[in-house]
Protein backbone atom coordinates (compact mmCIF):
# COMPACT_ATOMS: atom_id res chain seq x y z
CA UNK A 1 0.00 0.00 0.00
CA UNK A 2 1.22 3.50 -0.82
CA UNK A 3 1.72 6.02 1.94
CA UNK A 4 -1.52 7.66 3.00
CA UNK A 5 -2.55 10.86 4.71
CA UNK A 6 -6.19 11.12 5.74
CA UNK A 7 -8.17 13.98 7.24
CA UNK A 8 -10.95 12.88 9.59
CA UNK A 9 -13.93 15.16 10.30
CA UNK A 10 -16.47 14.35 13.01
CA UNK A 11 -19.06 17.06 13.75
CA UNK A 12 -20.91 16.89 17.07
CA UNK A 13 -23.71 18.98 18.51
CA UNK A 14 -21.38 21.53 20.13
CA UNK A 15 -17.98 20.69 18.62
CA UNK A 16 -16.21 19.59 15.45
CA UNK A 17 -13.48 17.02 15.99
CA UNK A 18 -10.76 16.69 13.38
CA UNK A 19 -7.71 14.47 13.09
CA UNK A 20 -4.99 13.84 10.53
CA UNK A 21 -3.47 10.38 10.15
CA UNK A 22 -0.24 9.84 8.23
CA UNK A 23 0.51 6.20 7.47
CA UNK A 24 -2.00 5.25 10.20
CA UNK A 25 -0.20 7.40 12.78
CA UNK A 26 -2.17 10.28 14.24
CA UNK A 27 -0.23 13.50 13.74
CA UNK A 28 -3.00 15.92 14.71
CA UNK A 29 -6.18 15.84 16.77
CA UNK A 30 -8.29 18.84 17.69
CA UNK A 31 -11.73 19.28 19.23
CA UNK A 32 -13.05 22.62 18.05
CA UNK A 33 -15.65 23.91 20.50
CA UNK A 34 -18.62 25.92 19.28
CA UNK A 35 -20.44 28.20 21.69
CA UNK A 36 -24.22 28.15 21.96
CA UNK A 37 -24.16 31.83 20.98
CA UNK A 38 -22.36 31.08 17.69
CA UNK A 39 -24.63 28.16 16.83
CA UNK A 40 -27.84 29.96 17.80
CA UNK A 41 -27.43 32.33 14.86
CA UNK A 42 -28.23 29.44 12.46
CA UNK A 43 -31.84 28.39 12.04
CA UNK A 44 -30.98 24.91 10.77
CA UNK A 45 -28.04 22.59 11.45
CA UNK A 46 -27.29 22.48 7.70
CA UNK A 47 -26.82 26.25 7.78
CA UNK A 48 -23.73 25.76 9.97
CA UNK A 49 -21.87 24.09 7.09
CA UNK A 50 -19.75 27.05 5.89
CA UNK A 51 -19.09 28.27 9.45
CA UNK A 52 -17.71 24.90 10.55
CA UNK A 53 -15.84 24.28 7.27
CA UNK A 54 -14.00 27.59 7.55
CA UNK A 55 -12.98 26.88 11.16
CA UNK A 56 -11.64 23.44 10.13
CA UNK A 57 -9.54 25.02 7.38
CA UNK A 58 -8.30 27.68 9.79
CA UNK A 59 -7.16 25.12 12.37
CA UNK A 60 -5.40 23.04 9.71
CA UNK A 61 -3.55 26.15 8.51
CA UNK A 62 -2.59 27.09 12.07
CA UNK A 63 -1.24 23.56 12.64
CA UNK A 64 0.69 23.78 9.36
CA UNK A 65 -0.93 20.75 7.76
CA UNK A 66 -0.13 20.63 4.05
CA UNK A 67 -3.52 19.90 2.52
CA UNK A 68 -1.91 18.94 -0.76
CA UNK A 69 -0.50 15.82 0.95
CA UNK A 70 -3.96 14.49 1.75
CA UNK A 71 -5.11 11.40 -0.17
CA UNK A 72 -8.65 11.27 1.17
CA UNK A 73 -11.12 12.63 3.71
CA UNK A 74 -13.09 10.48 6.15
CA UNK A 75 -16.24 12.07 7.54
CA UNK A 76 -18.91 11.05 9.99
CA UNK A 77 -22.07 10.01 8.15
CA UNK A 78 -25.44 11.65 8.68
CA UNK A 79 -29.16 10.89 8.65
CA UNK A 80 -29.47 9.26 5.25
CA UNK A 81 -31.68 6.33 4.30
CA UNK A 82 -31.04 3.01 6.10
CA UNK A 83 -28.01 1.19 4.68
CA UNK A 84 -25.65 -1.70 5.39
CA UNK A 85 -22.44 -0.98 7.22
CA UNK A 86 -19.36 -0.05 5.22
CA UNK A 87 -17.46 2.81 3.61
CA UNK A 88 -19.35 5.04 1.17
CA UNK A 89 -18.05 7.56 -1.37
CA UNK A 90 -19.58 10.99 -0.74
CA UNK A 91 -21.40 12.18 -3.85
CA UNK A 92 -23.27 15.31 -4.83
CA UNK A 93 -26.55 13.40 -4.56
CA UNK A 94 -25.72 12.40 -0.98
CA UNK A 95 -24.90 16.00 -0.08
CA UNK A 96 -28.14 17.24 -1.61
CA UNK A 97 -30.09 14.81 0.53
CA UNK A 98 -28.23 15.85 3.69
CA UNK A 99 -28.81 19.54 2.98
CA UNK A 100 -32.53 18.88 2.84
CA UNK A 101 -32.71 16.21 5.55
CA UNK A 102 -35.97 16.16 7.48
CA UNK A 103 -34.17 15.23 10.70
CA UNK A 104 -31.64 17.74 12.01
CA UNK A 105 -28.35 16.44 13.41
CA UNK A 106 -24.76 17.65 13.45
CA UNK A 107 -23.60 14.40 11.82
CA UNK A 108 -25.26 15.63 8.60
CA UNK A 109 -22.45 18.19 8.32
CA UNK A 110 -19.60 15.67 8.05
CA UNK A 111 -20.15 14.64 4.44
CA UNK A 112 -20.96 18.23 3.44
CA UNK A 113 -17.68 19.58 4.82
CA UNK A 114 -15.69 16.60 3.52
CA UNK A 115 -17.14 16.77 0.01
CA UNK A 116 -16.55 20.53 -0.25
CA UNK A 117 -12.93 20.28 0.91
CA UNK A 118 -12.31 17.20 -1.21
CA UNK A 119 -13.64 18.91 -4.31
CA UNK A 120 -11.35 21.86 -3.64
CA UNK A 121 -8.33 19.56 -3.21
CA UNK A 122 -9.25 17.03 -5.91
CA UNK A 123 -9.45 14.07 -3.53
CA UNK A 124 -12.33 11.74 -2.56
CA UNK A 125 -14.35 12.05 0.63
CA UNK A 126 -15.99 9.08 2.35
CA UNK A 127 -18.35 8.32 5.18
CA UNK A 128 -17.95 5.15 7.27
CA UNK A 129 -20.70 3.30 9.16
CA UNK A 130 -23.04 6.29 9.41
CA UNK A 131 -25.59 6.67 12.19
CA UNK A 132 -28.30 5.06 10.03
CA UNK A 133 -26.57 1.68 9.65
CA UNK A 134 -29.45 -0.77 9.90
CA UNK A 135 -28.85 -4.37 10.95
CA UNK A 136 -31.96 -4.74 13.08
CA UNK A 137 -33.80 -8.05 12.92
CA UNK A 138 -37.47 -8.00 11.82
CA UNK A 139 -38.72 -8.61 15.38
CA UNK A 140 -36.94 -5.47 16.56
CA UNK A 141 -38.48 -3.34 13.82
CA UNK A 142 -42.04 -3.68 15.09
CA UNK A 143 -43.35 -0.55 16.77
CA UNK A 144 -46.88 -1.56 17.69
CA UNK A 145 -48.51 0.47 14.93
CA UNK A 146 -48.70 -0.81 11.34
CA UNK A 147 -46.80 1.31 8.84
CA UNK A 148 -44.50 2.87 11.43
CA UNK A 149 -41.45 0.70 11.97
CA UNK A 150 -38.75 1.50 14.52
CA UNK A 151 -35.73 3.22 12.98
CA UNK A 152 -32.06 2.47 13.50
CA UNK A 153 -30.27 5.73 14.42
CA UNK A 154 -27.37 5.21 16.81
CA UNK A 155 -23.56 5.29 17.26
CA UNK A 156 -22.35 2.42 15.03
CA UNK A 157 -18.80 3.72 14.61
CA UNK A 158 -17.96 3.74 18.30
CA UNK A 159 -20.14 0.82 19.30
CA UNK A 160 -18.70 -1.52 16.68
CA UNK A 161 -15.12 -0.45 17.39
CA UNK A 162 -15.65 -1.09 21.11
CA UNK A 163 -17.38 -4.41 20.40
CA UNK A 164 -14.33 -5.57 18.44
CA UNK A 165 -12.01 -4.52 21.29
CA UNK A 166 -14.26 -6.28 23.78
CA UNK A 167 -14.23 -9.47 21.71
CA UNK A 168 -10.43 -9.34 21.54
CA UNK A 169 -10.31 -8.94 25.31
CA UNK A 170 -12.44 -12.07 25.62
CA UNK A 171 -10.14 -13.93 23.22
CA UNK A 172 -12.79 -14.13 20.51
CA UNK A 173 -13.83 -12.53 17.23
CA UNK A 174 -16.61 -9.93 17.06
CA UNK A 175 -18.73 -12.41 15.10
CA UNK A 176 -18.47 -14.94 17.95
CA UNK A 177 -19.92 -12.97 20.87
CA UNK A 178 -23.20 -11.67 22.23
CA UNK A 179 -22.63 -8.31 23.88
CA UNK A 180 -24.46 -5.15 24.88
CA UNK A 181 -22.73 -1.85 24.17
CA UNK A 182 -23.95 1.38 25.75
CA UNK A 183 -22.67 4.60 24.19
CA UNK A 184 -23.02 7.33 26.81
CA UNK A 185 -22.59 10.72 25.18
CA UNK A 186 -24.71 13.74 24.33
CA UNK A 187 -27.10 11.09 23.11
CA UNK A 188 -27.36 7.59 24.58
CA UNK A 189 -27.73 4.46 22.46
CA UNK A 190 -27.63 0.87 23.68
CA UNK A 191 -27.12 -1.89 21.14
CA UNK A 192 -27.48 -5.69 21.16
CA UNK A 193 -24.56 -7.07 19.15
CA UNK A 194 -25.11 -10.65 18.04
CA UNK A 195 -22.56 -12.47 15.92
CA UNK A 196 -21.19 -9.31 14.30
CA UNK A 197 -24.50 -7.52 13.75
CA UNK A 198 -26.40 -5.05 15.87
CA UNK A 199 -29.79 -6.74 15.85
CA UNK A 200 -31.54 -4.23 18.12
CA UNK A 201 -30.74 -0.68 19.23
CA UNK A 202 -32.70 2.34 20.42
CA UNK A 203 -33.18 5.37 18.19
CA UNK A 204 -30.95 7.79 20.09
CA UNK A 205 -32.11 10.85 18.17
CA UNK A 206 -35.87 10.97 18.10
CA UNK A 207 -37.36 9.79 21.34
CA UNK A 208 -36.34 6.24 22.27
CA UNK A 209 -34.41 4.91 25.21
CA UNK A 210 -32.90 6.78 28.18
CA UNK A 211 -32.72 10.54 28.53
CA UNK A 212 -29.26 11.99 28.13
CA UNK A 213 -27.40 15.25 28.82
CA UNK A 214 -29.42 17.00 26.08
CA UNK A 215 -32.14 14.61 24.83
CA UNK A 216 -35.42 13.45 26.30
CA UNK A 217 -35.23 9.83 25.24
CA UNK A 218 -38.63 8.12 25.20
CA UNK A 219 -41.50 10.34 26.37
CA UNK A 220 -44.99 9.17 27.35
CA UNK A 221 -47.34 9.55 24.39
CA UNK A 222 -49.63 11.81 26.40
CA UNK A 223 -46.80 14.33 26.82
CA UNK A 224 -46.43 14.71 23.05
CA UNK A 225 -50.20 14.96 22.59
CA UNK A 226 -50.32 17.72 25.21
CA UNK A 227 -47.47 19.62 23.53
CA UNK A 228 -49.31 19.55 20.20
CA UNK A 229 -52.97 19.96 21.08
CA UNK A 230 -52.91 21.88 24.37
CA UNK A 231 -49.70 23.92 24.13
CA UNK A 232 -49.89 24.39 20.37
CA UNK A 233 -46.19 23.77 19.77
CA UNK A 234 -44.91 23.43 16.20
CA UNK A 235 -42.94 20.46 14.90
CA UNK A 236 -39.68 22.40 15.06
CA UNK A 237 -40.36 23.49 18.65
CA UNK A 238 -41.06 19.91 19.70
CA UNK A 239 -37.94 18.63 17.91
CA UNK A 240 -35.82 21.17 19.78
CA UNK A 241 -37.38 20.00 23.04
CA UNK A 242 -36.57 16.39 22.20
CA UNK A 243 -33.04 17.04 20.93
CA UNK A 244 -31.00 19.83 22.49
CA UNK A 245 -33.33 21.01 25.23
CA UNK A 246 -34.17 17.71 26.92
CA UNK A 247 -32.49 15.64 29.59
CA UNK A 248 -30.03 17.48 31.81
CA UNK A 249 -30.54 20.69 29.83
CA UNK A 250 -34.21 20.63 30.79
CA UNK A 251 -33.71 19.64 34.42
CA UNK A 252 -30.35 21.24 35.29
CA UNK A 253 -29.77 23.82 32.54
CA UNK A 254 -26.54 22.17 31.36
CA UNK A 255 -25.62 19.68 28.64
CA UNK A 256 -22.24 18.97 30.25
CA UNK A 257 -22.39 15.72 32.21
CA UNK A 258 -19.33 16.78 34.18
CA UNK A 259 -21.16 19.85 35.44
CA UNK A 260 -24.23 17.75 36.20
CA UNK A 261 -22.08 15.37 38.25
CA UNK A 262 -20.52 18.22 40.21
CA UNK A 263 -24.01 19.51 40.97
CA UNK A 264 -25.09 16.01 42.02
CA UNK A 265 -22.35 15.84 44.62
CA UNK A 266 -23.88 18.65 46.69
CA UNK A 267 -27.47 19.05 45.55
CA UNK A 268 -30.13 16.43 46.17
CA UNK A 269 -32.30 17.40 43.21
CA UNK A 270 -29.35 17.29 40.83
CA UNK A 271 -28.36 13.89 42.22
CA UNK A 272 -31.86 12.57 41.54
CA UNK A 273 -31.67 13.74 37.90
CA UNK A 274 -28.15 12.41 37.33
CA UNK A 275 -28.93 9.07 38.95
CA UNK A 276 -32.19 8.94 37.00
CA UNK A 277 -30.16 8.92 33.82
CA UNK A 278 -28.13 5.95 35.10
CA UNK A 279 -31.37 4.23 36.12
CA UNK A 280 -32.86 4.57 32.64
CA UNK A 281 -29.64 3.44 30.96
CA UNK A 282 -29.57 0.38 33.21
CA UNK A 283 -33.15 -0.50 32.28
CA UNK A 284 -32.29 -0.22 28.57
CA UNK A 285 -29.29 -2.54 29.01
CA UNK A 286 -31.31 -5.05 31.01
CA UNK A 287 -34.11 -5.12 28.43
CA UNK A 288 -31.65 -6.14 25.70
CA UNK A 289 -30.56 -9.17 27.70
CA UNK A 290 -33.88 -10.69 26.63
CA UNK A 291 -32.73 -10.49 22.99
CA UNK A 292 -30.07 -13.11 23.83
CA UNK A 293 -32.32 -15.16 26.13
CA UNK A 294 -30.02 -13.96 28.90
CA UNK A 295 -26.90 -15.43 27.26
CA UNK A 296 -24.78 -12.25 27.28
CA UNK A 297 -20.99 -12.56 27.17
CA UNK A 298 -20.26 -9.02 28.31
CA UNK A 299 -21.53 -5.46 28.66
CA UNK A 300 -19.44 -2.42 27.71
CA UNK A 301 -19.92 1.23 28.66
CA UNK A 302 -18.32 3.75 26.33
CA UNK A 303 -18.57 7.42 25.35
CA UNK A 304 -17.75 10.51 27.38
CA UNK A 305 -19.87 9.65 30.41
CA UNK A 306 -18.01 6.34 30.79
CA UNK A 307 -15.29 8.46 32.43
CA UNK A 308 -17.71 9.22 35.26
CA UNK A 309 -17.15 6.91 38.23
CA UNK A 310 -20.44 7.98 39.73
CA UNK A 311 -22.42 7.18 36.57
CA UNK A 312 -20.67 3.89 35.77
CA UNK A 313 -20.86 2.63 39.37
CA UNK A 314 -24.62 3.20 39.44
CA UNK A 315 -25.02 1.30 36.16
CA UNK A 316 -22.73 -1.53 37.25
CA UNK A 317 -24.70 -2.00 40.46
CA UNK A 318 -27.87 -2.59 38.46
CA UNK A 319 -26.67 -4.68 35.49
CA UNK A 320 -23.60 -6.65 36.58
CA UNK A 321 -25.87 -9.61 37.42
CA UNK A 322 -26.39 -10.02 33.66
CA UNK A 323 -22.73 -10.19 32.57
CA UNK A 324 -19.33 -8.66 33.39
CA UNK A 325 -19.23 -4.91 32.74
CA UNK A 326 -16.21 -3.37 30.98
CA UNK A 327 -15.36 0.31 30.61
CA UNK A 328 -14.07 1.82 27.36
CA UNK A 329 -14.32 5.55 28.16
CA UNK A 330 -14.19 8.07 25.34
CA UNK A 331 -14.80 7.35 21.70
CA UNK A 332 -13.21 5.27 18.98
CA UNK A 333 -14.89 7.15 16.15
CA UNK A 334 -11.86 8.98 14.74
CA UNK A 335 -9.79 5.80 14.42
CA UNK A 336 -12.77 3.88 13.04
CA UNK A 337 -13.36 6.52 10.36
CA UNK A 338 -9.71 6.44 9.35
CA UNK A 339 -9.61 2.63 9.35
CA UNK A 340 -12.63 2.43 7.05
CA UNK A 341 -10.99 4.69 4.46
CA UNK A 342 -7.63 2.93 4.88
CA UNK A 343 -9.31 -0.36 3.96
CA UNK A 344 -10.61 1.20 0.74
CA UNK A 345 -7.28 2.82 -0.16
CA UNK A 346 -5.51 -0.50 0.48
CA UNK A 347 -7.94 -2.38 -1.76
CA UNK A 348 -9.21 -4.53 1.12
CA UNK A 349 -12.73 -3.15 0.77
CA UNK A 350 -14.63 -1.62 -2.12
CA UNK A 351 -16.24 1.77 -1.52
CA UNK A 352 -20.00 1.68 -1.77
CA UNK A 353 -22.06 4.18 -3.76
CA UNK A 354 -25.00 5.55 -1.81
CA UNK A 355 -28.41 4.81 -3.29
CA UNK A 356 -27.39 2.01 -5.61
CA UNK A 357 -25.63 -1.15 -4.40
CA UNK A 358 -27.13 -1.01 -0.92
CA UNK A 359 -30.81 -0.98 -1.89
CA UNK A 360 -31.24 -4.71 -2.40
CA UNK A 361 -29.41 -5.53 0.83
CA UNK A 362 -31.66 -3.25 2.88
CA UNK A 363 -34.85 -4.54 1.24
**CA 359 from centre of chain:** 23
Q: What is the pLDDT of residue 282?
A: 98
Instruction: Please report, for the chain, the start and end positions of each structural domain, with discontinuous segments joined by +.
Output: 5-133+333-362, 138-329
CATH superfamily placement of domain 138-329: ATPase, nucleotide binding domain (3.30.420.40)
Average pLDDT across each block of 10 residues of the chain; the chain has 363 residues. List them in order: 84 92 95 89 92 96 95 94 90 94 88 96 95 94 97 91 94 96 97 95 93 97 96 95 96 97 98 98 98 98 97 98 97 90 92 67 36
pLDDT of the residue at 360: 36
What pLDDT is recorded for position 363?
31
Give the pLDDT of residue 23: 92
- Residues with Cβ < 8 Å from 109, sequence gap 6 or more? 11, 16, 45, 46, 48, 49, 52, 78, 98
How far is the C-alpha of 149 from the C-alpha of 146, rounded, in Å? 7
Do 138-329 and 5-133+333-362 fall under one CATH topology? yes
Q: Alpha helices of the chain — where are they, by DSSP H?
A: 36-40, 49-62, 92-99, 108-121, 138-141, 156-169, 221-229, 235-242, 247-252, 257-266, 268-288, 309-319, 333-345, 359-362
How many whole angstroms separate alpha carbon 263 and alpha carbon 261? 5
3-state secondary structure of 280: helix
Q: Which CATH number fits domain 5-133+333-362: 3.90.580.10, 3.40.50.300, 2.40.128.110, 3.30.420.40?
A: 3.30.420.40
pLDDT of residue 329: 96
Amino acid sequence: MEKSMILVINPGSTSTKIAVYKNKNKILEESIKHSEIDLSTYQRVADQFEFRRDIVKQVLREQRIDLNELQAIAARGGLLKPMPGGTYLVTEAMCEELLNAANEHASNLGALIGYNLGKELGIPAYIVDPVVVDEMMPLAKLSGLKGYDRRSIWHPLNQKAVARKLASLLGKEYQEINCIIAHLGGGVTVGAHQNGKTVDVNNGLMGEGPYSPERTGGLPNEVLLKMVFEEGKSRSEIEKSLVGQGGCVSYLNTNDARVAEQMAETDGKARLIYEGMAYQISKEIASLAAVFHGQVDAIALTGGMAYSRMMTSWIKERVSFIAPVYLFPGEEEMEALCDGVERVLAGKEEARIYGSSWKKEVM
